[in-house]
Amino acid sequence: MPKTAAFQVCHGELIGARQIPSPNYNQRPKQAEIQLVVVHNISLPPSQFGGGYIEQFFQNALDWAAHPYFQTIEGMQVSAHLLILRSGEVLQFVNFNDRAWHAGRSSYLGQKECNDYSIGIELEGSDDLPFEQAQYDALSAVTACLQQAYPKIQQHLAGHSDIAPGRKTDPGPFFDWNKFRTQLHHFKNK
């Protein structure tokens, strides 16, 4: 059984997460209601962990010259609401009431532009390595908390590859949806 982490949503902010504001967001459309969680993976450089490069990338503060790979993403302005590090620490970059830039061209159950109505959660990881148990624990705790705060989310959990098939592959084959759903179920039935 995962430990109960003390997460709480207050005015779009996740209490229990470290706040690292990103400038990469805008307003959600007026009629948009939060109703989907999108799970991603990211690592910079790919498949290398730590170093703080993701945080810098989401803050438009990455030194593009620091690694050859960074030149391939130079100038991109992206963000996610949350990033879960390998340690399980949760960082928040964008207030849930705002529209983070994580999904790109996308569609879920026939509804386009998932950024308008979703919350984007990045796991520090890659398509070719397993995720850490601490990340499943944090993701489950956070998702249970989000489902309470935004009831429309309920069963609407998707991977980036589900909403942008053919274009995106994350969270990838190593992300264990069964484990995530099982742990989430434990939280919801407490």
- Could you give the 3-state DSSP secondary structure of residue 112? strand
> Which x/- pattern over 26-65 shows residues binding Zn ion (rule: CB under 5 A)?
--------------x-------------------------
Segment near Zn ion (CB under 5 A); pick from 6-14, 68-76, 147-155, 160-168: 160-168
* Enzyme catalytic residues: 122
**Minimum distance between the CB of residue 154 and Zn ion, rounded to whole angstroms?**
22
Nearer to Zn ion, 43 or 147 (CB): 43
The set of long-range contacts for 177-183, using a CB threshold of 8 Å and a minimum separation of 24, is: 179/136, 180/39, 180/136, 180/139, 180/140, 180/143, 181/157, 183/2, 183/136, 183/137, 183/140
Stretch that binds Zn ion, among 13-21, 77-85, 130-138, 153-161 (CB under 5 A): 153-161
Total length of the chain: 190
Tokens for 74, please give them.
């130079």
170 binds Zn ion per the rule CB under 5 A = yes
Cα separation of 21 and 57, whole Å?
12
Nearer to Zn ion, 55 or 170 (CB): 170
CA 172 from chain centre, in angstroms, equals: 14
Judged by CB under 5 A, the residue of 160, 161, 172, 183 near Zn ion is 160
Residues that bind Zn ion (CB under 5 A): 40, 160, 170
